[in-house]
Structure 1
Amino acid sequence: MKLKLTGLLTFLIMFSIQMSTAQESKITGIISDSDAIPISGVTIVVDGTNKGVVSDFDGKYSISAKKGEILKMTFIGMKTQMITIGDSTTIDVTMEEDLESLDAVVVTGYQKIDRKLFTGSAATVKLEDVKLDGIADVSRALQGQVAGVEIQNVSGTFGTAPAIRIRGNASINGANKPLWVIDGVILEDAIELSNEDISSGNLDTILSSSTAGINPDDVETFQVLKDASATALYGARALNGVIVITTKRGKTGKPLVNFSSSLTARAKPNYSQFNYLNSGNELSVYQELYEKGWIDIAGANTASNHGVFSDMFNKISNNEINWGPGGSPNYAYLQRYANANTDWFDVLFKDSFIRTNSFSISSGTDTSRYRASISSIVDEGQTVADNVKNYTANLNADFDLSDKLSIGFKLTGNVRDQRIAASEDRELNALTGVFERNFDINPFNYALYTSRSITPYDEQGNRQFFRRSYAPFNILHEVENNFVDLGLIDLSFQTNFNVKVTNDLNFTTVLNGRWYKSDAIQTVHENSNNAAAYRADGPLIRESNIFLFNDPDAPELQPYSVLPNGGFRKTTNNSLTSYYMRNQFDYSRTFGDSHTVSALLAQEVRSSDRVQEKNDGWGYLFDKGGLILSDPNFIRFLDSRGEEYFDVEETRQRGWGVFSNLAYSYDQKYIVNGTYTYTGDNRTGQSKTARYLPTWNISGAWNMHNESFLENVDWLNLLKLKSTYGLSGSNPFDASAGLIVFGDEPLRPQLGEREVSLLIDQLENGELTFEKLYEWNIGLETAFFNNRLGLELEYYQRKSEDLVGFVETNGVGGEGTKLGNIGDLDREGYEVTLRTVNIETSNFRWTSNFNFSYSESEIKKWESQDRIGDAVSRNGANIVGFPTGALFSVPFAGLDSNGIPTFFGEDGAIIQDLDFQERDDITKFLKYEGPTEPTFFGGFNSNFSYKNLSLNVSLAYRGGNKIRLDDAFQEEYDDYSSLPGDLINRWSLPGDENVTNIPAILSEIVSEGLDNAGLNPYDLYNKSDVRVADGDYVRLRNIKLSYRLPKSLIDRAWLKSATASLSANNLWLIYSDDRLNGIDPEFFQSGGVSLPLTRSYTFTLNFNF
């Protein structure tokens, strides 16, 4: 009986074990991301148990679990997956990015801070979400994406930087551009240019972009730091905000290979966008100019420029053609040109492509990770005068040498070859306040401002030459014989040493070195118009040709050429060598469950040496193997003009700083943060008070959603109130407190009188100190309905003090004009960011992002006096009680009975003259138009996705600013330049003054009378209130349609993922002021090397292997 009982019990126990085992199965599968790329390192646990595994390099996992149990899968940056086990033992999982998690960390460059504990104003932008295919410069992708960040594409030429402002201008004469930081190290500018310089079109601007050499596919995120708390650790360099770029690094897992290739086509500009006369209407104006004495046979022979009418007179003088009936112009000859209607945009711009390729490979183990990438851009050029080849390489690696010590390094390189049309740098005409540029062959400006009656080819198909700068000129010939070739190489190396001293304390050392060199060689061929102008010494033009030499040693001689042979080989070489080192301690510890303390203590040193060399290379014979035949008189010619043929500028910048930060959080509800920095710069002189600037910040935040009285509000995910107050500073790059002495050669017209001297450019200025910015910021961050609705509101007040400018003194100290801290500027504004998940289903998702920014400034103190010429110019003036760059106009009173403009002066008096050099009380009768800087701007972005298809639409807008229109109306016109379309409505007969405000074309006699009387009504007309437009615009900046190929297709091609996309950039200027006549409100038509950012279409293929 006992044996039977024992047997029965044994059977029951074994049956129970067998049944229990049968309920538990081995679950296997592969975990991948939305691109079907396997994810290694995913943690898989059976929920409610201690049983767990980690996915391997192939994303594979295997775990034992019972039917009905739940597998919990977690991975940083991905949404947690909860999978209930059913009948299947194979469960493949696709994990989705957790956008909230990716935005949960703020990267300041020095620290990574949990956003919940962050008290400053910052925005995170993932490049993948905003990347503009076909646009090489990653900085342009930020336009319309971040509240408070205003980006203006002043030029689209490769290498030029957009004008970027964070919360408006904080300085009056400073650079007003943000500080760029890449992987924790400040990216020094190769050449230092202000936002005003960036829009100049000068040759240096093609080196102005700090980010042109960065492969967009290497960038992970942008972090925009806006207020004093966010930028505090950058001390005296953070006045204008900071943009932190974090690049991609290697990840643990099997090798992942990515290849992307894109083809971009650009649209040509066309005349339908602009309002200029066609060739037929131009000829009718030329006829009027002829009748009023402006164009005649005598003037045509001596004019610096001439078009078809003057060319006709030259041919009559040379007996090539005859006069018309009764001694009239030969209208039969002119008929061809009246019908020409030359499309210069079609002549100078071309259908071309940009080919972009990028390749990367990354992999890693538990102790080492690496990523390597290369990229190329081959741009055929949008004009007949330009092309670009740009190459980048990047290699980074991280090694965990032990559980206490790790090391990382990064090596980057950029090589560029670029050709552009050559032009001289612009110069400011002190008398008129207008920038002028000799020998400008900018294709866009030439197409817009050259008469359409001029033709590039004659009737036989040969290139036709007219006259420009006293010499024969054909634009196609000139761009082939006058161009700049730029070569650039930029290398940098960075290494990070990280020591885990304790579980709470880390020590980091960052070392960075950079070597940069660019060589720009301008070829001015002996056959070019530029060179020919220096040899144009015909008897009828010799006296007026400014490019000939009036020898002061032989006044009896006629002006003569100092370039009898050859052309110019002008070189501009720039180099930068910089070093950087930072040592940093980071401490973080949580006491109990509620008290968290973090601290940072760091020290850094930096060094930057810049050298620029220029040589004009006179008398270079390109057609004779580079033989040089320089006329020694060219030295005397330059000397008589106060110029040198060779120049070297060297600058050495040294900086040092210590930084500290202390933060405390209680129960993740209440956060207090304080920062103190002490930095110095050698450019601020020897005085300690000038050289070193302590900056500080105090801030706090309240996470109200963690309060017990809100814990049951299920629809509330985030409610955070924060505020900061602090001091930051800046030293304008051209300001120095030290004694500045240059070697100099005084201007001596006589060569024998030349001598070398020392020039005291600036006396020691011990009172000059840093510009300072005191800023208060208050913000509210909210999220509702499971984070489907997010709203951020910010308000700030900024007070800039001790702004640097030139001020007149009594001369007691030895200088009549000196730099001083002479200004104060107040600014306030607010920002709104709204993020929504509008629709979300299993197959369809629609999200949107709207941001709006508003700010206005007022100058509270400014001891320098601007001229009337400044106040009415495009950049405006700086006047107490007005915003920076305030634009004024001369009040237009109408046309008189002769069609001549009149204006309101003081007390309503009618005037026709004004001294643009006047500085006293210049606002007494000028009309204030508004600021030249936008007062509001923002963007709207919508993203739609349906299964494997996605559509992204992005708009940008701005407004509140005023734009001074180009000087288009004159007392006289020539037959070489294009004519504004408004001339159709010009005053022609008495009584027209009642129906039009377009002034008359005066006769030469009347014009001379105005000059003799000292009147300048046409200059005033161009600076009047009728020549001002609103700067408001709304632009459809980007549309992108993408399709991710289904897994069933890519598996056959041994791919992990494949995506095809089609995008359009700068597609449609939805709204702008009609008075701009088609001119892009962002683009500064400054000529030189600047070209507009045109409409483009890009097709991209992206593969992961």
Structure 2
Amino acid sequence: MKKNRISPESRLWIFRRKTFLMMKFTLLLLFCSLFQLKAEVFSQRKVSVQMSEVTLDRVFQELGRQAKCDFLYNHSLVKQKGNVTISVEDRELNAVLDELLPRLGMEYVLDENVIIIREKWALPQNQDVEVRGTVRDEKGTSLPGVTVVIKGTTLGTATDDKGEFVLRLPRQEGITLVFSYVGMKLEEVKFTGQKDMQVVLYADEQEMEEVVVTGYQVLDKRTLTSSISTVRADELEKMGVLTVDQMLEGKAPGLLITNISAQPGAAPKVRVRSAGTFTGTREPLWVVDGIIYEDPVPLSAAEINSYDNVNLIGNAITGLNPQDIESINILKDASATAIYGTRAANGVIVITTRRGKSGTPVVSYSGSVNAVIRPHYSDFNLMNSKERVDVSREIYERGLGYPQNNNLYTPLGYEKALLDYWKHGNFSAFQKEVGRLERLNYDWFDELYRAAVNHSHSVNISGGSDQVRYYFSVGYDNQRGTEKGVSLDRVTSRANLDVDLRKNLLLSFGMDGSVQKAKYNHSSIQVFDEAYNRSRAVEARDENGELVYIDKRLSSDRQELGRYNILNEMQNSERKIDNKAYNFNVTLNWELVKGIKLSSRFAYRNTTNITEEWIKDNTFFMAQLRSYDEFRDDIAKEDLQQYSLVPFGGIFSGSQTTQESFSIRNQLNLLKIINEKHVFNLNITQEASSTKYKGVTGWQSPGYNHDGGRKFIPLPALSQYGNFDLSDYTYQAVLKWFTEGGANGYSVYPTVTDNLKNMLSWTGIFTYSYDDRYIANFNIRSDGSNTFGQYERYKFKPSWSASVRWNIHKENFLNPAEKINELALRGSYGFRGTSPATSPYLTLKNYGRNDAVYMPENTSELAEFPNANLKWEKTATVNAGIDFAFWGNRLSGAIDYAYSKSTDLLLQRPVSLVNGSSMQWYNGGSKEDYSLELNLRGEIIRTKDFGWNMNFNLSREKENILEGTNVIPGQISIDDYLNGQILMADFPIDGFFAYKFDKLDEEGYPTFPELFGTYDSEYEKLQKALVYVGSRQPKFYGGFGTELSWKGLTLSANFSYKAGQHVRLLNLYRNGQQMPLSGDNMRNEFVDRWRNPGDEERTNIPVLSTDPKEVSYATIGSDFIPGGKNSTSLWELYNYSNIRTAKGDFIRWQSLTLSWRCPQQFLENIGVRSAVLRFQMQNLAVWTFDKKLKGQDPEQVESLGLPVQPSYNVGLMISF
């Protein structure tokens, strides 16, 4: 059956449906219950129709439009009747139908607000069985307008606004009812005499994907000319995950997600294809319900882009509850992103949230309990205590000594036992202690981590009437990190409301808010580093559970010792990050006349981030700042107080940033259809937006007394010293700290943030379609900004695109091609700009008064050197694609190829210091990017009770920096080469280098002959001494999955993969030391170290040695000396050599899910609409292909801590 809705609210859709959809079912059925009209009223409405040789389908559309009613009929039946001619003038609808239908062998019935068209079919008098029932979706929501027919006939009806139906059936066996609804899979139910039928329809993935939301328009996927990937909400049901961006890994081609940290609240790195900038952020633009969401804190591009930095503050969608999401569309090419202008250069991710539908209220609950496994030593390639004691024994037996042990802390483990033996001479006690240490195997991961149990809950209620529809939700998430001391609590809420003020006037409201409170360990505490690097022959607690302290040097240039135990540091410090967000929007949609619609929207967003960090005075960290340990009895504290920065109390640090933004959008849409074939659509939008960040960041206040009511201990008044002289004051260092504004990187005075960005934009979107076969689209947008140049021609740089689509499957030469459901070619070309945060103007930074003795005065320095010729960064993109679906949509997918060239990219160049600045921004860079994307979805088996689906997506990307963008010698350092931060022609942005390792020499030392050769220049030497390894970004990435379903059971598995990237192995030598400290653990690779002459033939693991083998940076090249570093060593060169790199190819088993849907016949007895029980395992395994990794997670960055851990989840979804 087929339903066409015609009303003032939906006329626009009727015409577009005729041109664009022409499918077996129409999307307009979703609105069948919005504006109900009594049958006895509209059947008497008068109509006038003059049509010749047109389809019945077209006649019913016109009759419905004039009578403002709905028609329900079987498309195949109507098509069989052929074309008709009708000529009536000002006649009642029922009279027209009475005259038209009988001659075609058809009749009609009035059922509430629906006119049902059917073939004449008489029942014998004894066939009078009546059946009633209710139809719902899988979440228990009633479905109005569902078509119900007897299989093999045209007899049927449709469900009312409550999802209920009544139908008379023949009294005979073998009757089957067929239930159909747009967006749902066809359901067949055998009639066995039941008087009350409860039917559940399940979402049809192919149908649901036919609507694409861009934030400015709602488009039919089959008319789409752009490269857009859609991810549905049911594909994101990954339990125990806080934000939607963490769920997207491997879900769509062209979308690269990297979860670099297991900490709750940590934002992943998100990339949509390749970025068109060197210096700006590479993150995509987030749009929620058509509104741009900005990040809560204006982090620098370097902080956002770097894979060596974890963002715990969160991103634009930190407060968005995944349970509120309806769908996600990833806009990738210029045709799709041009409508967002300069802010969309890195792609756009458009999120659509759930909204209410007409019908009885539905209350739904979704909850899950999640257990995350703590890390174990079996996950890492580390020595046990016996192997570590064996290393210490070799150090002693070879007479290597312990010079480094005494430099940082007193001997531990085997070395401590040995020193005790030398001191007391008790060999038996020594042997006993060594045996205990070999068996100790102290579990530092168990001491510092835990198995975390988390839980999430979400409740929503939705429903409404013809005039008002609503959706309300509230959610709560509690996450405990596996790292002890880490936790996160979040509360979210959302309210979406749609009100029909008139038939042609719709008012929509949207509100949402979130409060997130997270606790972490103090930033000075590196928990993973401690667990990973601490020897298992060293313990944190004694047999009584008391803390065991290490005597550790407070600084490298002083001999004072302080007590250190990481557990004491964790127990006496804390870091808190609180995020609050509130969003509000109101939209008015007004259909002025047929084909003209006006929309106005106002949106407001407010976020607040508060970060505070404190640490008490009884910690090693504070002892370092004091230069003595306050809690040791063997020092004279009074003599050291005058040199102490913090003579008493701890330190409190904090920051607060508030973001406030608003936008006003006015949108005019014009639609014109000519002769049912030509469709013109023009969309003109004007938009003004303003974003302001205010706050204070980066201050540290000494004297903090946490246990004394979170107050500060004041310094003694100067007046008590009489005739004051600075040399008389006890706390000279503190006084100097306050008067000079900071010391040792700690500032008493905060940095004030007060940034305002205003934008004025206009957008034009024009689409033309001919006969639903040929579609052309043109977009243009101009953003006004004073970010670039003093010249007007640089301030308003438009972004534009042109694109086309050819629906080949609509061509007559393919009809009837039943095996081809869709075959379409797409092509687009576009131009867009980027606006990194910089300024063309002379910008000063005020530093206040200087400390000149004779003439103190206010000082400033240049923050930005002027360049009036700065322009937008520009990117031109070509995209070609093909969409296809075959064999009844059993196989569907898309292929895309894209090429981008970016020019005028911002770089810095040196200028003479006489100008007051050493660097200046200019437009001088260029790069090109290639990408190939494949997306496949297949239904291998499709039966009534059993189904098997599979999906696969692949992205191939290549990035090259073009000639003319080479780095300038003297402006980069060796670290830039090693960390992948240079810009060099024919290399990608994230490409990194390594020292060229040769071999071990006959004494077991690593050799780097290229580094010590003779060259014409230091730059040439560097080029010879370094070897290019590869990019940190994968060349190939994607995901695949499979789903098996049988009746109410569903089993699914999902995987992601990346290939072509390179990674560094975790350091073999800690801090560049040639030998481990007595308390340090070592990687198990050291078991295979060089021990005797000739071993260099079998191993590349160097010898244990006391020789630091220092190498001056002048030897490497004085032009490339990193700031503050004078020398390195062979051991550090070895850590950063090509022998310590590996291919990062991997496949990650993301999830395995088993769900069970409770039978409907059981639920109806207890008043429940639907119930689903789910068990899910996540991050089950990572398969790597380079043996050098030896268990290392390829996405793990050593300095960032623990990678993502396995978890087990149980969840329940229930609706009432």
| TM-score (structure 2 length as normaliser) | 0.80
Q: Secondary structure, in 3 states, of the residue corresponding to 2:341?
A: helix
Offset at residue 842 of structure 1 (A): 1.2
Offset at residue 36 of structure 1 (A): 4.8
Q: Report Cα offsets for 1:102-155 as digits up to 9, x if no partner.
A: 111111111111111110001111121232111111112211111111111111
- Distance in 2 (CA, whole Å) between partners of 1:620 and 1:914 is 57
User: Which of 111, 115, 136 pairs up with 2:217?
Assistant: 111
- Distance in 2 (CA, whole Å) between partners of 1:569 and 1:1007 is 41
- Distance in 2 (CA, whole Å) between partners of 1:558 and 1:311 is 32
Q: Name the structure 2 match of 1:741.
A: 844
- Distance in 2 (CA, whole Å) between partners of 1:942 and 1:63 is 39
- Distance in 2 (CA, whole Å) between partners of 1:1033 and 1:107 is 33
What pairs up with 1:327-726 in 2 under 5 angstroms?
336-423=436-523, 439=524, 441-468=525-552, 470=554, 471-537=562-628, 560-614=643-697, 615-625=699-709, 626-630=711-715, 631-635=734-738, 639=742, 641=744, 644-647=747-750, 648-684=752-788, 686-726=790-830
Offset at residue 872 of structure 1 (A): 4.4
Offset at residue 829 of structure 1 (A): 1.8
Offset at residue 863 of structure 1 (A): 4.5
Offset at residue 1095 of structure 1 (A): 0.6
Q: Report Cα offsets for 1:631-684 as digits up to 9, x if no partner.
A: 424336764557522222222122221000101010011111001100133444
Q: Name the structure 1 match of 2:35.
A: none
Q: Report Cα offsets for 1:553-598 as digits up to 9, x if no partner.
A: xxx9998212110001111212111111111112223211111111
Q: Secondary structure, in 3 states, of the residue corresponding to 1:937?
A: strand
User: Which of 392, 400, 414 pairs up with 1:286?
Assistant: 392
Offset at residue 342 of structure 1 (A): 1.5
Residue pair 1:690, 1:766 contacting (<8 A) in 2 also: no
Structure 2: which amino acid aligns with 1:600? Answer: N
- Distance in 1 (CA, whole Å) between partners of 2:850 and 2:400 is 38
Q: Name the structure 1 match of 2:1074.
A: 971
- Distance in 1 (CA, whole Å) between partners of 2:294 and 2:221 is 28
Percent of paired sites with the same residue: 29
Q: Secondary structure, in 3 states, of the residue corresponding to 1:623?
A: coil
- Distance in 2 (CA, whole Å) between partners of 1:783 and 1:52 is 30
Q: Secondary structure, in 3 states, of the residue corresponding to 2:323?
A: helix
Q: Report Cα offsets for 1:994-1037 as digits up to 9, x if no partner.
A: 22211222224x74799999773223222211011111101110
- Alignment CA distance shift 1:643-1:1100 (3 Å): closer
Q: Secondary structure, in 3 states, of the residue corresponding to 1:532?
A: helix
Residue pair 2:996, 2:1137 contacting (<8 A) in 1 also: yes
Q: Report Cα offsets for 1:359-396 as digits up to 9, x if no partner.
A: 11111101100111111112233222111111101111
Residue pair 1:889, 1:1023 contacting (<8 A) in 2 also: yes
- Alignment CA distance shift 1:645-1:1049 (3 Å): same
- Distance in 2 (CA, whole Å) between partners of 1:588 and 1:80 is 33
Q: Name the structure 2 match of 1:1023.
A: 1136
- Alignment CA distance shift 1:1055-1:27 (3 Å): closer
Q: Name the structure 1 match of 2:1161.
A: 1048
- Distance in 2 (CA, whole Å) between partners of 1:744 and 1:793 is 56
Residue pair 2:257, 2:269 contacting (<8 A) in 1 also: yes
Q: Name the structure 2 match of 1:1093.
A: 1204
- Distance in 1 (CA, whole Å) between partners of 2:1025 and 2:985 is 16
Q: Report Cα offsets for 1:144-176 as digits up to 9, x if no partner.
A: 111111111111222221111111333222211
- Distance in 1 (CA, whole Å) between partners of 2:916 and 2:735 is 38
2:1036 is aligned with 1:936 = yes
What pairs up with 1:117-132 in 2 under 5 angstroms?
117-132=223-238
The unaligned stretches of length 5 or more in structure 1 are: 1-15, 424-438, 550-555
Q: Name the structure 1 match of 2:1150.
A: 1037
Structure 1: which amino acid aligns with 2:1042? Answer: S
Structure 2: which amino acid aligns with 1:950? Answer: T
- Alignment CA distance shift 1:1027-1:479 (3 Å): same
Offset at residue 897 of structure 1 (A): 2.4
- Alignment CA distance shift 1:585-1:311 (3 Å): farther
2:882 is aligned with 1:780 = yes
Q: Report Cα offsets for 1:55-112 as digits up to 9, x if no partner.
A: 3343113467889999986644234679999998876644332322211111111111
Structure 2: which amino acid aligns with 1:303? Answer: L
Offset at residue 813 of structure 1 (A): 6.3
Q: Report Cα offsets for 1:532-551 as digits up to 9, x if no partner.
A: 22234389x9xxx9xx99xx
Q: Report Cα offsets for 1:479-504 as digits up to 9, x if no partner.
A: 11121122222111111111111221
What pairs up with 1:929-1008 in 2 under 5 angstroms?
929-969=1029-1069, 970-1004=1073-1107, 1007=1109
Q: Name the structure 1 match of 2:160.
A: 56
Q: Name the structure 1 match of 2:902.
A: 800
Structure 2: which amino acid aligns with 1:899? Answer: G
Residue pair 2:128, 2:169 contacting (<8 A) in 1 also: yes
Structure 2: which amino acid aligns with 1:680? Answer: G
The unaligned stretches of length 5 or more in structure 2 are: 1-119, 555-561, 716-733, 1116-1126
- Distance in 1 (CA, whole Å) between partners of 2:1016 and 2:432 is 44
- Distance in 1 (CA, whole Å) between partners of 2:840 and 2:202 is 56
Residue pair 1:595, 1:666 contacting (<8 A) in 2 also: yes
- Alignment CA distance shift 1:664-1:1003 (3 Å): same
Q: Secondary structure, in 3 states, of the residue corresponding to 2:1131?
A: helix
Q: Secondary structure, in 3 states, of the residue corresponding to 2:144?
A: coil
Offset at residue 744 of structure 1 (A): 1.2
- Alignment CA distance shift 1:736-1:954 (3 Å): same
Of residues 165-174 and 16-25 in structure 1, the stretch that sits farther from structure 2 once superposed is 16-25
Offset at residue 512 of structure 1 (A): 1.1
Structure 1: which amino acid aligns with 2:482? Answer: Q
Offset at residue 988 of structure 1 (A): 2.6
- Alignment CA distance shift 1:460-1:261 (3 Å): same
Structure with more relative contact order (C-alpha pairs < 8 Å, separation 6 or more):
1
Residue pair 2:563, 2:629 contacting (<8 A) in 1 also: no
Residue pair 1:933, 1:961 contacting (<8 A) in 2 also: yes
User: Which of 228, 231, 250 pairs up with 2:334?
Assistant: 228
- Alignment CA distance shift 1:920-1:394 (3 Å): farther
Offset at residue 238 of structure 1 (A): 1.1
Structure 2: which amino acid aligns with 1:207? Answer: I
- Alignment CA distance shift 1:1015-1:139 (3 Å): closer
Residue pair 1:902, 1:910 contacting (<8 A) in 2 also: no
- Alignment CA distance shift 1:54-1:746 (3 Å): farther
What pairs up with 1:834-845 in 2 under 5 angstroms?
834-845=936-947
Q: Report Cα offsets for 1:236-295 as digits up to 9, x if no partner.
A: 111111111000011111010001221100111111121122223323333455678876
Structure 1: which amino acid aligns with 2:808? Answer: M
Offset at residue 356 of structure 1 (A): 0.9
Offset at residue 451 of structure 1 (A): 2.1
Q: Name the structure 2 match of 1:3.
A: none
Offset at residue 605 of structure 1 (A): 1.2
Offset at residue 980 of structure 1 (A): 2.0
- Distance in 2 (CA, whole Å) between partners of 1:869 and 1:202 is 17
Structure 2: which amino acid aligns with 1:1094? Answer: Q
Residue pair 1:677, 1:695 contacting (<8 A) in 2 also: yes
Of residues 1039-1048 and 864-873 in structure 1, the stretch that sits farther from structure 2 once superposed is 864-873
- Distance in 2 (CA, whole Å) between partners of 1:18 and 1:774 is 66
Of residues 103-112 and 275-284 in structure 1, the stretch that sits farther from structure 2 once superposed is 275-284
Residue pair 1:148, 1:166 contacting (<8 A) in 2 also: yes
- Alignment CA distance shift 1:482-1:358 (3 Å): same
Q: Name the structure 2 match of 1:29.
A: 133
